């Protein structure tokens, strides 16, 4: 099966726009597909998630906030055998806010709120000893910052953690990635395995609570958090004239992830000194997969359809993100006014997994029958 260069250029770009909602704090999926494009290539995109996460049992209408995050990448084929790349994304994050009137997660004035943001800048160098093989590696620069407030009876009200605040200042750290890809350009076949290391952060945090004890009222401390290691497997191949099948499988090592601020631990251990509450933790590793088909309709238009699954990162889950995995379906379209650039848009509908929220090891209640819509827009340019 032979594909023209134009067909390959279009079809290779017809991929799912983004994960946008996944287990743990996972957001972008950390794709390096831009680096595996032929020739010189650049892209910029934006993804938006509009989710509804509610609990009839706890009388929570919707605690999930809509959010967006950008991405960008550039890849240069410096020589026949050496390629260079730079990728920007926001791999992990969370945005949620409970209503202040909720007796479980609010105090009448404020509701429990979480805002976690990360940024990644990945530099890549690839070596292609032949047309079929590509070996690549590079450093990863990552920043983390967060602002979280706990309110309501779920955290013990004003007598315990229901007045707790933490502001984690922006902190940077470094990791690395490595991988290899194999391709047969004539049939648009490409397979790639990419490993990303964990990244250890030690950030300055300002913790406060309204508890009367002076020793527990405020603390400037450091918070240790390690963003997890992960493996991505990407595969695509031509299956018919102008038609491409693709798949992505991702593993993220969430099962050892925990954030343990000092003041939160001190407060939560009263009156039980052997019980210390984590701010965020997960019990299972995350597995996710997306499979789909892309087709070129003519020289300017192509489209894709995909199905996705995410296992989540364990159940019960933190009250700051009470869902467990998802199923989704996605549709994408691409318009190529000329051979060297395109505009791509897509949408995904998510059926979010039911989950039991917990705090301090105590189950609070169930969040069921939730959903989300994800949107994406990307512009790609070949130079």
pLDDT surpasses 90 at 269: no
Structural domain tally of the chain?
Answer: 1
pLDDT surpasses 60 at 271: no
Residue 16's pLDDT is: 47
Kindly state the average pLDDT of the residues 210-235: 82
Helix intervals (H) in the chain: 5-13, 262-268
The DSSP 8-state label assigned to residue 80 in this structure reads S
Kindly state the average pLDDT of the residues 157-176: 91
- CATH of residue 182's domain is 2.40.160.60
Residue 361's pLDDT is: 76
Residue 303 Ramachandran class (φ > 0 left, ψ -120 to 50 alpha, else beta): beta
Kindly state the average pLDDT of the residues 178-201: 95
Q: Which of 159, 177, 257, 192 is nearest to 33 (CA)?
A: 192
Q: What is the mean pLDDT of the chain?
A: 88
Quote the domain boundaries for residue 230.
Answer: 5-382
Band of the pLDDT at 180, cuts 50, 70, 90?
Answer: very high
Which neighbouring-strand residues pair with 148?
114, 166
Residue 22's pLDDT is: 67
Residue 265's pLDDT is: 72
pLDDT surpasses 90 at 150: yes
Band of the pLDDT at 21, cuts 50, 70, 90?
Answer: low
Which neighbouring-strand residues pair with 355?
367
Kindly state the average pLDDT of the residues 158-187: 92
More confident residue, 213 or 272: 213
Confirm if 342 and 10 have CB atoms less than 8 A apart.
yes
pLDDT surpasses 90 at 139: yes
- Lowest-pLDDT choice from 56-65, 208-217, 231-240, 305-314: 208-217
pLDDT surpasses 60 at 140: yes
Residue 273's pLDDT is: 45
pLDDT surpasses 90 at 160: no
Instruction: Measure the CA angle with vertex 207, ends 206 and 211; round to 5°.
Output: 150
Residue 176's pLDDT is: 98
Percent of residues, the chain, with pLDDT higher than 70? 90
Separation in Å, CA 19 to CA 52, 90, 284, 339: 17, 12, 19, 27
Helix intervals (H) in 193-302: 262-268
pLDDT surpasses 70 at 270: no
Question: What is the separation, in whole angstroms, between the first and last Cα of the chain?
Answer: 27
Q: Is the pTM of this model over 0.85?
A: yes
Q: Tell me the C-alpha distance between 277 and 218, whole Å.
A: 17
pLDDT surpasses 50 at 6: no
pLDDT surpasses 50 at 274: no
More confident residue, 166 or 7: 166
- Lowest-pLDDT choice from 54-68, 158-172, 262-276, 331-345: 262-276
Which neighbouring-strand residues pair with 235?
191, 247
Residues 33-91 have pLDDT tens digits of 999 999 999 999 999 999 999 999 999 989 998 888 899 999 999 999 999 999 999 99
pLDDT surpasses 70 at 298: yes
pLDDT surpasses 70 at 372: yes
């Amino acid at each position: 099966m032979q594909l023209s260069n134009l067909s390959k250029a279009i079809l290779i770009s017809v991929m799912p726009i983004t994960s946008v909602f996944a287990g743990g704090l996972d957001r972008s999926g950390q794709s390096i597909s831009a680096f595996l494009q032929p020739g010189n290539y650049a892209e910029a995109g934006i993804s938006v998630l509009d989710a509804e996460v509610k609990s009839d049992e706890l009388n929570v209408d919707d605690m999930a906030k809509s959010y967006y995050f950008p991405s960008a990448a550039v890849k240069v084929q410096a020589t026949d055998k050496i390629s260079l790349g730079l990728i920007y994304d926001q791999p992990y994050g969370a945005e949620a806010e409970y209503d202040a009137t909720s007796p479980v997660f609010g105090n009448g004035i404020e509701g429990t709120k979480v805002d976690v943001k990360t940024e990644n800048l990945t530099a890549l160098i690839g070596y292609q000893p032949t047309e079929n093989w590509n070996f690549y590696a590079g450093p990863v620069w990552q920043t983390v910052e967060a602002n979280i407030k706990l309110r309501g009876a779920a955290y013990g009200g004003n007598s315990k953690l229901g007045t707790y605040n933490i502001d984690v200042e922006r902190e940077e750290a470094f990791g690395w990635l490595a991988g290899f890809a194999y391709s047969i350009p004539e049939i648009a076949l490409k397979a790639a395995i990419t490993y990303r290391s964990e990244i250890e952060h030690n950030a300055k945090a300002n913790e406060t609570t309204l508890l009367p004890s002076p020793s527990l009222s405020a603390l400037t401390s450091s918070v240790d958090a390690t963003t997890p290691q992960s493996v991505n497997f990407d595969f695509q191949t031509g299956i018919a004239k102008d038609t491409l099948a693709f798949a992505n499988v991702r593993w993220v090592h969430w099962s050892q992830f925990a954030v343990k601020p000092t003041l939160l631990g001190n407060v939560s251990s009263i009156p039980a000194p052997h019980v210390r509450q984590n701010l965020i933790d997960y019990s299972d590793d995350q597995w996710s997969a997306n499979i789909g088909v892309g087709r070129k309709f003519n020289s300017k238009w192509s489209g894709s359809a995909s199905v996705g699954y995410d296992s989540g990162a364990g159940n019960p889950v933190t009250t700051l993100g009470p869902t467990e995995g998802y199923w989704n379906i996605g549709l994408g379209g691409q318009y190529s006014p000329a051979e060297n650039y395109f505009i791509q848009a897509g949408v995904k509908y998510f059926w979010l997994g039911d989950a039991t929220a917990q705090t301090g090891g105590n189950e609070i209640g169930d969040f069921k029958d939730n959903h989300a819509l994800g949107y994406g827009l990307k512009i790609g340019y070949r130079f």
